[in-house]
Structure 1
Amino acid sequence: MIQIPIIKEYQDHYQQQVVELILQIQQQEFQIPISKEDQPDLFTIESFYQTGNGNFWIALYHDQVVGTISLLDIGNNEVALRKMFVHKGYRGQTYKTASLLLEKALKWAQEKSLKAIYLGTTPQFLAAHRFYEKNGFVEINDTMLPQSFPVLKVDKKFYTYTVNNNPSNVRIYR
């Protein structure tokens, strides 16, 4: 029987694995010209993401980081979903890694009584677009983003999710 990954809050001793996973997906898998120097937040995860209404989670499979997701507090009871990455071998129905990560983030948002989650993504992440849409995210124009939303240079497609503060309503479609 296949075990599913364990989702837990980020701790500093996983930093190297997190950086390696994200860079491998960005650079090798999707040929996005972004470096670790372009992402200083990867070296200050605790002070950058794990403050206010924000947090950062990792998916672990036998103590190996196979996925990440974060919510960045952007004020006004809103957050930006960032750093949603899943190792190629742990995507899909077998491990449900993306679903488990998103479910954790959505439950956090409800528990914190947040209003909305926003995200920006690249045009190349087609499977991610379908995943977000299937899970209640609605595509929006960049003019609909809050002024405090941190648009990255690779972000060309944007989504929002209205948080319903009823935890029993969180349903992740796997």
Structure 2
Amino acid sequence: MNESIIVKEYSSEYQSQIIDLILYIQQVEYNVPITIQDQPDLLNVANFYQNGIGNFWVALHGDKVVGTVALLDIHNHQAALRKMFVAKDYRGRTSNTANFLLNNAMAWAKKIDINKIYLGTTLQFVAAHRFYEKNGFQEISAEDLPKNFPIMKVDKKFYKYVV
């Protein structure tokens, strides 16, 4: 299946699918009490993420959005990894979608001269914790985050990656 997954930069044609995918994973699969109103960035992806050294990508299987990832410019050659979501049927080694997305973001980071990437996640996303750790992210405390890192209210676990 992995040959059929492609990663593309965000364009507005994918916005509704992105919102549906992310909200379904957050609310239905993981019971995270978060709404679209809590995530206004999803209503303005281009202006929010495709700014400075940031960007947003989608993983596509045909015309269907099956994953997302973003790097948010937080200045000083640093970025926040955000919106890393993969549809249930596209998780794991069979499709390798998460790796495609992360590798794409990391290649961008190296090209754009980002030297540190930070992320926040919920305690419920245990498989995501293993994924990040397996890919070189080190767990850190909230106190070790840069001052300009945007903490979402559901974020309770934090990581750093040195590019």
TM-score (norm 1): 0.92
- 8 Å contact 1:4–1:96 — kept in the other structure? no
The secondary structure found in structure 2 opposite 1:123 is coil
CA shift, 1:148, in A, is: 0.3
- 8 Å contact 1:53–1:112 — kept in the other structure? yes
CA shift, 1:3, in A, is: 3.3
**2: distance between equivalents of 1:2 and 1:132?**
20
Residue in structure 1 matched with residue 132 of structure 2 by the alignment: 132
**1: distance between equivalents of 2:3 and 2:105?**
21
Residue in structure 2 matched with residue 48 of structure 1 by the alignment: 48
- 8 Å contact 2:2–2:96 — kept in the other structure? no
User: Are 2:19 and 1:19 equivalent residues in the alignment?
Assistant: yes
User: Are 2:148 and 1:151 equivalent residues in the alignment?
Assistant: no
Query: Gaps (5+ residues) in structure 1?
Result: 164-174
**2: distance between equivalents of 1:68 and 1:4?**
16
Q: Paired residues, what number?
A: 163
Structure 1: 4+ residue segments shifted above 3 A: 1-4
Identity of aligned residues (%): 58
**2: distance between equivalents of 1:58 and 1:127?**
20
Q: Which amino acid aligns with 1:61?
A: H
Q: Deviations over 1:50-100 (max 9, x none)?
A: 010000000000110000000000011100000000000000011100000
CA shift, 1:4, in A, is: 3.6
The secondary structure found in structure 2 opposite 1:3 is helix
TM-score (norm 2): 0.98
**2: distance between equivalents of 1:4 and 1:53?**
28
**1: distance between equivalents of 2:59 and 2:161?**
22
